[in-house]
Amino acid sequence: MAMRVVILGSGVVGVASAWYLNQAGHEVTVIDREPGAALETSAANAGQISPGYAAPWAAPG
């Protein structure tokens, strides 16, 4: 049964989710406040967690 799905945000996760849902036969609408995809967090890797920036996690012992 196909569903109508709305995804908020056209970053990497939003666009990938929309693609997979569309491939599964669902009607997908992506809404973002920017005019194009991946123009905020995904554009600058702002959502990235890097062990190099967290000394206690990256340090031995």
Report the alpha-carbon distance of residue 57 to residue 41 in Å, rounded.
23
Identify the three-state secondary structure at position 5: strand
Higher local confidence (pLDDT), 55 or 39: 39
Q: Are 10 and 37 in contact (CB under 8 A)?
A: yes
pLDDT at 39 (0 to 100) = 87
How high is the pLDDT of residue 44?
67
pTM (2 decimals)? 0.69
Once rounded to an integer, what is the mean pLDDT over residues 34-57? 70
Domain boundaries defined on the chain: 1-28
Average pLDDT score over residue span 29-56: 76
